[in-house]
A and B are shown apart, each in its own frame.
Chain A
Amino acid sequence: MKLTLKIWRQKSANDKGKIVDYKLDDVSPDMSFLEMLDVLNQELIDKDEEPIAFDHDCREGICGMCSMYINGRAHGPDRSITVCQLHMRSFSDGDTIYIEPWRASAFPVIKDLIVDRSAFDRIQQAGGFISVNTSGNTQDANAIPIAKESADTAMDAATCIGCGACVATCKNSSAMLFVGAKVSQYALLPQGQVEAADRVKNMVAQMDLEGFGNCTNTGACEVECPKGISLDTIARMNRELMKANI
């Protein structure tokens, strides 16, 4: 396959940045998207040009590090996957592919395709936990039965990998799917009830402080989320916050 790549290049946070065109021949359909970029980087290094910086680590769709806006969509054209799981067979010979970093004021670009997602960490630090100290005397794990449905729904929410595709794809750069997923996980489990009110208030307050936008329920985040986190988590967060304020 021959491809034309239009890639966002930005030297540092303060640089303006621009789209630069690259041509790549001999792309195998069995390559993953990131392996295709590896090949491009290898060519750039051989030509004494600076390779493209992009975040990636586990390359199996679970660490949430990879983060690219490909042809106008977070994690590219396929559903329910991250960039590292996207394979070149999803593209055709002669395609032009745009590759851009996540765009959101709360996710400033560090370099090229790398953005700073530490806002997500700070939201979790504001309340994304259950206050239990480590001890060998915690009550037995089976002491509180949890209905299978609650446990499963909590698990569905907990599968969020924190990649930020929801923010990137949202026309408002809203982080509500991410925060909703975390709030939901704890709201669905008995262990999370004690701090439920403070948790949702603090997390939402931090989310607002970080400069994420408002949710307008377009549902784009749910479609682009590699883990299929449901919009229901946002509704649950809305309920939790209303409950916490009454």
Chain B
Amino acid sequence: MKTLNSKIPEGPLADKWTNHKNKINLVNPANKRLIDVIIVGTGLAGGSAAATLAELGYNVKSFCFQDSPRRAHSIAAQGGINAAKNYQGDGDSTYRLFYDTVKGGDYRSRESNVHRLAEVSTNIIDQCVAQGVPFARDYGGLLDNRSFGGVLVSRTFYAKGQTGQQLLLGAYSAMNRQIGRGKIKMYSRHEMLDVVIVDGKARGIIARNLVTGEIERHSAHAVVLGTGGYGNAFYLSTYAMGSNVTAAWKAHKRGAFFANPCYTQIHPTCIPVSGDHQSKLTLMSESLRNDGRIWVPKNMDDVLAIREGKLKPTQIAEENRDYYLERRYPAFGNLVPRDVASRAAKERCDAGYGVNKTGEAVYLDFADAIKRYGKEQAHVKGLNEDDEALITTLGKEIVKAKYGNLFQMYEKIVDQNPYETPMMIYPAVHYTMGGIWVDYNLMTTVPGLYAIGEANFSDHGANRLGASALMQGLADGYFVLPYTIGDYLADDIRTGPISTETKEFEEAENLVKSSLDKLVNNNGTHSVDYFHKKLGKIMWNKCGMARNEKDLKEAISEIAALRAEFYKDVKVPGTANEYNEELAKAGRVADFLELGELFAKDALQREESAGGHFRDEYQTPEGEAMRRKEFQYVSAWEYKGEPKDAVLHKEELVYENIEVKERSYK
């Protein structure tokens, strides 16, 4: 049986990464060109890794299911990227970023990894600026910062509300340079459908060309997965439509342990669901909470009147509003971490105070911000500070400059003007902290198979802080993996090219082909979406923001039953030898149906509340998450055939440099 060895280097925390880099094996430049690396996914992690490995001299093969690497879903990240630059002089430091991240993750992440992340965070900003990423600047021409949830400093760098896009385009431009040099071979509109293991090592993948339907074999000396998270198991989420768990799940089936699948981030500020036709949820950046105040009416009569359309939110007097985050968490107020804000919204809505027809929405109100900025502007310009109309106009201008594109997006979707009436928001699935288990080198339990970015589990514990996903993806891709992978590949300099004409490749290809054929010839009665929506309902209702034993047990059996029904009754039109989106979707949903069960099993096993994982049974008298010392470990699941048979391995989490205490934002 496999055992977990996290390979955390010896020595004091602050020196671990430096010492490790000094000691690991390197591959000399002449030998690098003899080595092939496959990277699946072209988001921030996969894209930056592909570019950097190619710069170093490795032959990279890069895969994405989109039509261009530039479209990976990292592009949708809005708010920003953290880095311990301390440009604002407000007391930030590597240690503080490390501390905030571990605390934000509710003490469920690996200390050494998080510290390394904080260390390289500053390099990321330098690198991106050198690439021409147009971060926001102040009038002196220096970089500007904003503040994000769960921290007391301003360390978030941003490019309007499109930070993820700009960082991804930076990584994409670095990739383009290497594609132009022939060092990266790009396979877009390709989906990875299996990992090929030869002699216990990951040596290639099976991929499907989504345009022709052709099944292809690709070999390499190492395989890297930067395939993102699995939030689409919930059907409705802020993920892209194509985001999926298939690559990670196939790796899991081939021996990679899956860690903490139940740690899911539910983002507090998304646009509420409007109806059954809904295919996807839209996030409103966390940065809005810098200025927006979240509230619901204090009185039930007002709630009912609003739902019936008899009352407008702007008509409710200040004293009849419940700014519940400010009430419950005076120190952090509206800027509490995401898990806390989401649960608080759910608590109010469950209590019946939700403000839309479905009762699942709260207000995010900018009226005060508009007034405050307006007064400020009037004062600066020497105008009448008591002129309400003037102040509103001036204030709106400032709010527009800061959040204009987000306000416009809201208005397009909801058809209400957020400058005039408060936005309605509700939490939605946004990110998965869990993922493939990796050691300090980012290698999974399969030798030669790596996982980076959101696809791995390592840095965010049970909850991720805002603006940390971009940081982690780029840290892994630019500054961690390119070093650590050399340690493994140093043994492969004499291996020579890996043949795809082996029984391992043949077996994997046949497996892929037969499962596709099975789906395409199933001739059932319900479409793929039918099953996906059903799975989503189970996940959201029973494995969502709050979980309990009974629900989770039901979820496990319901998902297993749904999976059986799926294989019996799914209907996939067309053939396997052509562009067939329904077939691609079917394969992805099939894997979600397995992952979902493991997710529920993990949530059931974790009898505590931590970060995004909240168990009704384990809460403090004030309704806050109750962590339990006996669960201070990573749950890494080994595949054994059916999700219910998965075997748990524990990686104990040791905190030597940070005191584990109650995570309070009061």
Contact = CB atoms under 8 A, between A and B. Distances in A.
A and B touch in the complex (CB under 8 A): yes
Given A51-B582, A58-B240, A159-B160, A133 B55 contact: yes
B309 interface: no
B188 A118 contact: yes
Interface stretch (A34-42, A93-101, A213-221, A231-239): A34-42
B604 interface: no
Contacts of A45: 527, 571, 573, 582
Contact of B130 (A81, A110, A111, A138): A138
Contacts of B165: 62, 159, 161
Contacts of A133: 55
Interface string B39-78: 0000000001001100100000000001111110101100
B409 interface: yes
Interface in B627-660: none
Contacts of A117: 67-68
Interface in B190-242: 211, 238, 240-242
A148 B51 CA distance: 29
B73 A57 contact: yes
Nearest to A157: B134
Contact of A186 (B130, B132, B137, B176): B132
A51 B573 contact: yes
Nearest to B578: A12
B166 A134 contact: no
B279 A89 contact: no
A81 B135 CA distance: 23
Contact of A59 (B132, B160, B241): B241
B350 interface: no
Nearest to B162: A159
Given A45-B582, A148-B137, A136 B279 contact: no
Contacts of A57: 66, 71, 73, 240-242
Contact of A128 (B67, B71, B173, B415): B173
A25 interface: no
B502 interface: no
Contact of B277 (A38, A110, A132): A38
A140 B130 CA distance: 9
A192 B277 contact: no
B156 to A, nearest CB: 14
A172 interface: no
Contacts of B283: 60
B250 interface: no
A223 interface: no
A102 B135 CA distance: 32
A89 to B, nearest CB: 6
B125 interface: yes
A145 B179 contact: no
A129 interface: yes
Contacts of B141: 145-148, 151
A63 B282 contact: no
Interface residues of B, number: 80
Nearest to B157: A141
Contacts of B277: 28, 30-31, 35, 38-39
Interface size class of A (residues with CB under 8 A): 35 or more
Interface string A39-60: 1001001101111010111111
B76 A130 contact: no
Given A31-B277, A59-B241, A48 B76 contact: no
A151 B176 contact: no
A111 B189 CA distance: 13
Contact of B177 (A56, A118, A129): A129
B329 to A, nearest CB: 29
Interface in A121-135: 121, 124-135
A61 B283 CA distance: 12
Contact of B120 (A136, A159, A161): A136
Contacts of B282: 59-60
Nearest to A120: B68
Nearest to B179: A125
Contacts of A245: none
A192 B160 contact: no
Contacts of A65: 66-67, 71
Contacts of A129: 131-132, 173-174, 176-177
A138 B127 contact: yes
A185 interface: yes
A134 B51 contact: yes
A197 interface: no
A139 interface: yes
Nearest to A192: B132
A53 B478 CA distance: 36
Interface of B: 48, 51-52, 55, 66-71, 73, 75-76, 85, 87, 120, 123, 125-132, 134-143, 159-160, 162, 165-166, 169, 172-174, 176-177, 179-180, 186, 188, 211, 238, 240-242, 274-275, 277-280, 282-283, 408-409, 412-413, 415, 478-479, 482, 527, 529, 571, 573-574, 578-579, 581-582
13 contacts: A38-B279, A87-B415, A121-B186, A127-B180, A129-B132, A131-B177, A138-B127, A139-B126, A140-B126, A142-B87, A158-B159, A162-B68, A189-B132
